Every structure is written in structure tokens, then in C-alpha cells.
């Protein structure tokens, strides 16, 4: 049933999706785990092609969205107390914290550098030495290996003023939590993350929870093909893991990247927006790399803070709500004035709904 892409049209896949949904005794709901899938689905207007019996909700695959605002607060307090330079990817700079955003802090005179590669942190650290330079570590298995390589280089070159404030996340443990929800019939699995971790590792979804999963690419036909296979597996009640992104994803993933990740990091408990603390769902520096742990080496007291109670990002990134059901969406919360991270990130569900329509 894993047909090659050659000769397949959107019209044919849409027809097959409709035919399988017609066979379903009740509506089916799938979760697109990856934020890039969320944006691609809305950009291509694919939801307009789906029948009424097929519902697609967003999951916790946007790393910026699942990172709680205490991380932003800690970074700003760390920079103020230790006169540190903060280094970050662009997506994080406008995420609100209780003390304001990194953009607010930079506008007030704070030293915040936006980089495109973690390796740029080495030159930033050299330029500001002996002051500390703190890389803000947010991301899933896709980006963490590149950060591990950066820290390996820092260790080899004895860079003494570079640190990493870690809020890394791994995908399996939250999927185990979400797979317990009876209203979810399966998962559109992330393409980028799966390029690193592979597909064999998802077998717990059908084995333990009876839920299918399909790894998809990001072109419209990729997503339609995956949705066709998801609906078919759900209707046939034959849960399985299918790889519809074979041109990039392998069963065992990228074993070199996984080895580097395992050398630098150990699993640890992590706190997720909308899901709370999930055991062994994060990554902490280990062994000789603990010297780069900003949380331990540059301590600050971070007050307890909570998201704006009006913001529904936590419900949106766990599939419990769509952005157009939030009272702030498009009114008090816009890309120019975001209340929550889902409107800030380029992978955020609210940003996708706002830019391309519900």
C-alpha cells in the first residue's frame, strides 16, 4: 500500500481519503505532531480538501511553543546578574516571558545575539570573553546533534566562557502521554525528527496503544499520501507505522547523529507547556560537558510565573483546541503583538491559522 509518488495526484489521493472516511463508522481525528507540518498544511490549504469526518489537530512539535516562559525569565535574569551575552535562534526572540521578551531586553540595552548555526556561538564567545556567553538551547532531536557538535568543539578548544541553558525536548515520552487519549486515532509523525531517530522507534504506538503513525514529508502530496495511509489504517483497525518519507528517513535514523547526541546528553525530566513535567523527556549535559551547563554554573533565582490565563496555547499544542476558539486570537493576540508563543514561532499553530486562515 506504500505506493511510489510518481503518477499520484492530489485529486486521486483526496478521492481515496474520502472513500476511506466514508467507510469509517465515526469521525476520525489525527494529530500532526510537527509544527512544520502544521504550517505546510495551512499554507497549501489542505484542510479544505479533507472530508468532514476527518479532523486534524496540532501537537507539541513546535519547540518554541512547548518551552515554558520560566525559561525566558531565567535567561534574562542570568544575563543581568552575570553580565552575560545571550545567543539564540530567531524564533525565540519575541516569545513573551513574565519579565518581557528577549527582544524587549535587547531594546533596553541587553546583549542578545541571533545566530543561524550553533557553531556561531564559538565566535560570539571569543568576541565577548571573558564575559559569559549563553546559548539558549531549545529544540528536538533534529537540532540537538548540531548543538552537541558545537559543545564538542568547545571542549576540544577549551572554551571557558561558553554555556548552554538547556530546554531540549525528545518526542517519544509526550507521544506516549497523548496516545492514551481515546479521541486521537493516530499520528502524522514528524519528518525532520524522524530523519534523526528513524521509524523503528515508533513501534510502541501500535503495539502498546493500538494507534497508527505515518511519517510524512512536507510537500502537499507527501502530506496527502500520509493522510490517506493514516485513514486507511484507522478504518481497517490495523495499527502500524508507515514511512511515507523514504527519500529522507531510514528505519534506524541517522546513527552518527544519535551517537553524538548520546555522547553529550543524558535523558532527564522536562516541563512541557500544556503537559507538565514528563519524566525522561528532556536532555541534560553529562560527563565532561557538564562544564557548559548554564543553569548550574550561572545560577539565578527565578520567580514562579504562569502563562496569561487568557492564552490557550497549552490547549492548542495538545490538540484540545484550535486557535480560532481562543478569545484572543486575531484580536488581542497577533503576530505584531503576541500574547503566547504559538503566535510567535514560524512553526506555531496560531501563526499558521492567522497567516493562512482557519
Distance, in Å, from the CA atom of 139 to the CA atom of 143, rounded to the nearest integer, reads: 6
Distance, in Å, from the CA atom of 41 to the CA atom of 5, rounded to the nearest integer, reads: 18
Distance, in Å, from the CA atom of 349 to the CA atom of 334, rounded to the nearest integer, reads: 12
- As for how many domains the chain has, the answer is 1
Reported as a single tens digit per residue, the pLDDT across 95-152 is 999 999 999 999 999 999 999 999 999 999 999 999 999 999 999 999 999 999 999 9
Distance, in Å, from the CA atom of 12 to the CA atom of 15, rounded to the nearest integer, reads: 5
**Among candidate residues 93, 164, 166, 90, the one with its CA nearest the CA of residue 125:** 164
pTM of this structure: 0.92
In a domain, 92, yes or no: yes
CB 224 within 8 A of CB 251: no
In a domain, 266, yes or no: yes
pLDDT at 7: 57
Overall average pLDDT of the 164-193 stretch = 97
CB 139 within 8 A of CB 168: yes
Distance, in Å, from the CA atom of 303 to the CA atom of 74, rounded to the nearest integer, reads: 9
Residue 346 has pLDDT above 50, yes or no: yes
Domain of 98, CATH number, reads: 3.40.50.11740
Q: Please, which residues bridge with residue 58 across strands? A: 32
Reported as a single tens digit per residue, the pLDDT across 278-292 is 999 999 999 999 999
In a domain, 122, yes or no: yes
Q: What is the domain extent for residue 281? A: 65-170+253-297
Overall average pLDDT of the 60-66 stretch = 93
**Among candidate residues 62, 278, 18, 59, the one with its CA nearest the CA of residue 183:** 59
Task: Grade residue 1 by pLDDT with cuts at 50, 70 and 90.
Answer: very low
Amino acid at each position: 500500500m506504500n505506493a511510489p509518488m510518481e503518477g499520484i495526484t492530489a485529486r486521486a489521493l483526496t478521492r481515496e481519503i474520502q472513500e476511506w472516511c466514508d467507510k469509517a463508522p465515526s469521525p476520525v481525528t489525527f494529530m500532526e505532531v510537527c509544527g512544520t507540518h502544521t504550517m505546510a498544511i495551512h499554507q497549501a490549504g489542505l484542510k479544505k480538501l479533507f472530508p468532514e469526518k476527518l479532523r486534524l489537530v496540532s501537537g507539541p512539535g513546535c519547540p518554541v511553543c512547548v518551552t515554558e516562559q520560566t525559561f525566558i525569565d531565567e535567561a534574562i535574569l542570568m544575563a543581568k546578574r552575570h553580565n552575560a551575552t545571550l545567543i539564540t535562534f530567531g524564533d525565540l526572540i519575541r516569545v513573551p516571558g513574565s519579565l518581557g521578551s528577549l527582544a524587549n531586553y535587547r531594546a533596553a540595552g541587553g546583549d542578545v545575539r541571533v545566530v543561524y548555526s550553533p557553531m556561531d556561538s564559538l565566535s560570539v564567545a571569543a568576541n565577548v570573553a571573558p564575559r559569559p556567553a549563553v546559548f539558549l538551547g531549545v529544540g528536538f532531536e533534529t537540532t540537538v546533534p548540531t548543538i552537541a557538535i558545537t559543545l564538542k568543539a568547545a571542549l576540544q578548544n577549551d572554551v571557558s566562557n561558553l554555556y548552554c541553558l538547556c530546554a531540549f525536548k525528545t518526542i517519544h515520552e509526550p507521544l506516549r502521554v497523548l496516545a492514551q487519549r481515546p479521541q486521537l486515532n493516530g499520528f502524522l509523525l514528524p519528518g525532520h525528527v524522524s530523519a534523526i531517530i528513524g521509524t523503528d522507534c515508533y513501534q510502541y504506538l501500535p503495539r502498546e496503544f493500538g494507534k497508527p503513525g505515518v511519517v510524512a514529508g512536507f510537500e502537499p502530496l507527501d502530506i496527502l499520501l500520509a493522510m490517506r495511509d493514516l485513514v486507511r489504517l484507522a478504518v481497517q483497525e490495523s495499527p502500524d507505522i508507515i514511512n511515507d518519507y523514504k527519500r529522507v528517513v531510514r528505519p534506524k535514523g541517522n546513527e552518527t547523529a544519535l551517537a553524538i547526541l548520546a555522547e553529550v546528553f543524558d535523558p532527564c525530566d522536562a516541563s512541557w507547556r500544556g503537559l507538565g513535567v514528563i519524566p525522561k523527556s528532556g536532555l541534560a549535559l553529562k560527563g565532561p560537558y557538564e562544564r557548559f551547563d548554564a543553569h548550574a554554573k550561572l545560577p539565578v533565582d527565578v520567580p514562579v510565573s504562569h502563562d496569561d490565563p487568557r492564552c490557550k496555547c497549552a490547549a492548542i499544542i495538545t490538540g484540545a483546541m484550535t486557535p480560532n476558539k481562543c478569545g484572543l486570537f486575531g484580536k488581542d493576540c497577533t503576530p505584531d503583538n503576541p500574547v503566547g508563543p504559538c503566535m510567535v514561532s514560524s512553526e506555531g499553530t496560531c501563526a499558521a491559522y492567522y497567516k493562512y486562515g482557519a
